[in-house]
Structure 1
């Protein structure tokens, strides 16, 4: 058992893009990296074998809120933790459930102790505090676990954002205290990442970065972005945070975003990403491809027998045609959801893998600018 290690390999000369290696007890992760979201112990419509062989996922994300409610910590512990339960031997990151509780705005109450909320499944009442959330994540057993934070909505006035940030910092202290007096339930180290908050205010974001950095954690996360603010504001705040977080620790931007968002934020110095967009949009007929965005529902694809995307190294994307996938989606065949999800996830992993190659080759900036234009176009 060893704490997470991060080795910074290369930094781009024309931007702040970085290539590195994160090492955990469940394996190494090349950065920049995208983490598919497996909310309830499953990346929707995709098997674990497909995640490894087709998508090339190096790490996946689980959700504390959903796993706590179902199947529950008792089942997870008796299975030997989430890795064993879902038969996934690569790294896992769990978020703290803070964002899910934030999104239950009608049925939750925030107080100093924590957040009282009602289950979306049966209406039962529960308390998430920094301590209970650490205990739940101990039971889940992820390699990287997140501190419990409050994610303020956009827009928030300055007083609310400031109050929320200080609450997040107090909760962070309690999260670290709990982790220090408990131990891993399984044979691997769990690494606690703090989360930067502060709304859309530069001084608060900088203050939060300084507080988070003082914890000397093995990695740091940036939260509270991609919650409705304009893209340019997100980039501005992301860049500010990267400039005020330690260089030698991985930086994780939570819940972002489109392939072009990811490239822009890699250029600012982000190492880790997650987002539900590839799978959610895929299930709703939107494909991200190496040539641009496709709405596979459109009639123009009805007789297009070319591969879904032969620009990426994914057997599924190369094997099936656009016409066939359109037929499956129109017929509401479950296989259509699987193929679309694999395509989007494989493309996201392709994007970060290519980004890494171009950082190492020294031509990331020019490649990124050309790629952003191409990936954004509607086909």
Structure 2
């Protein structure tokens, strides 16, 4: 299902609008929390619904290993399995697999399970099939994500193989070969642009990906260790060659400064583990920057994590209480800090929508960068 974006307003290259899928409407720009194993860590579906989260990301690599795509399909797909009425986007598993240093050929990638050491093979075709069984609203084509820095020949090889795999994955997705379910017929599939920080390769990869023709487009292989001043030109180079009427998704980016800069370049969708991972380690996102809840200064602080935050944690519990829970390793601490961090980052992006509509995006951008830049 080809997804289009209806642009409501622009401010420079920044834009706000809506993406309409078979499941409903997604307002943009939009941050999606990461639910790796069909769960955003420490949260449940009711928490996400209460925060107004319309889209989460689930991890194909982990779900194909535990509990398995067939089991999820037998139980009605991810939405029924999780009791989640919102949208689900599944990644292809490529990023996780390539972090395991698999054996890669033109055919696919062979890797060992991090759970039991068993051997598995993932191809562009099987990645599409597995994600169809999971029942995601949006699935990602299998790509090659090289680490940065890498030699130019490695980046070029990743672009070429990503393009070849993209064509195969797209053909499999459209054909289905007997495994497409009625639920899967409403799925969308996104292509992925690679190219490291090489501007020429980013342009080439974007053009070749668009030639294949996908339902939406993602920019992968960025925010993997390179400085922001190298990431942004590569991102801009790719965006220039992606369709303006389809969604643009920057994969794996969740720090406020990078988000606001990417919105300023015309990105619509983001995902990252940053808010949930930070929460588990006691790092809190606030309008004044990072707050470390374990610090002694918060021991008797009766104020909220962020006075300007409207989340239910800030409305009810003090820094002193949350510090107490975190110091003792109480699971409630991770849960409450996660609720705050996810709500805070989501609200930041919602605020950027309003800034674009009201023609004050540059002011909002400067305000974020003054704290987070």
- TM-score class, shorter-chain normalisation, is over 0.9
Matched, 1:117 2:108: no
Q: Is the 8 A contact 1:199 1:205 kept in 2?
A: yes
Which is further off, 2-11 or 90-99? Answer: 2-11
Counterparts of 1:218-367 in structure 2 under 5 Å? 218-367=215-364
2:9 corresponds to: 10
- Paired residue for 1:94, among 79, 90, 94? 90
Matched, 1:48 2:48: no
**Residues 147-186 of structure 1, C-alpha deviation per residue, up to 9 Å, x if partnerless?**
0001011111111111111011000010011011113442
Q: Is the 8 A contact 2:135 2:184 kept in 1?
A: no
Structure 1: give runs of 5+ residues left out of the alignment. none
Matched, 1:66 2:62: yes
The count of corresponding residues between Structure 1 and Structure 2 is 370
Superposition deviation, residue 188 in structure 1: 5.7
- Paired residue for 1:82, among 67, 78, 83? 78
Which is further off, 266-275 or 236-245? Answer: 236-245
1:256 alignment partner, SS class: coil
Distance in 1 between residues matched to 2:360 and 2:118, nearest whole Å: 54
Superposition deviation, residue 366 in structure 1: 1.1
1:317 alignment partner, SS class: coil
Distance in 1 between residues matched to 2:98 and 2:128, nearest whole Å: 18
Superposition deviation, residue 56 in structure 1: 2.1
Matched, 1:35 2:32: yes
Distance in 1 between residues matched to 2:371 and 2:2, nearest whole Å: 40
- For normalisation by structure 1, the TM-score amounts to 0.95
Q: Is the 8 A contact 2:30 2:350 kept in 1?
A: yes
**Residues 354-379 of structure 1, C-alpha deviation per residue, up to 9 Å, x if partnerless?**
00001000011112101221346xxx
Q: Is the 8 A contact 2:90 2:131 kept in 1?
A: yes
Q: Is the 8 A contact 1:290 1:375 kept in 2?
A: no
Counterparts of 1:163-182 in structure 2 under 5 Å? 163-182=157-176
Superposition deviation, residue 193 in structure 1: 0.4
Superposition deviation, residue 48 in structure 1: 0.8
Q: CA RMSD in A?
A: 1.2
Cα distance, 1:25–1:177 mapped onto 2, change above 3 Å: same
Distance in 2 between residues matched to 1:79 and 1:125, nearest whole Å: 25
Superposition deviation, residue 312 in structure 1: 2.4
Distance in 2 between residues matched to 1:337 and 1:91, nearest whole Å: 24
Distance in 2 between residues matched to 1:184 and 1:205, nearest whole Å: 35
Q: Is the 8 A contact 2:190 2:215 kept in 1?
A: yes
Q: Is the 8 A contact 2:2 2:216 kept in 1?
A: no
Cα distance, 1:201–1:279 mapped onto 2, change above 3 Å: same
1:369 corresponds to: 366
Distance in 2 between residues matched to 1:368 and 1:319, nearest whole Å: 30
- For normalisation by structure 2, the TM-score amounts to 0.97
2:270 alignment partner, SS class: strand
Distance in 2 between residues matched to 1:177 and 1:220, nearest whole Å: 16
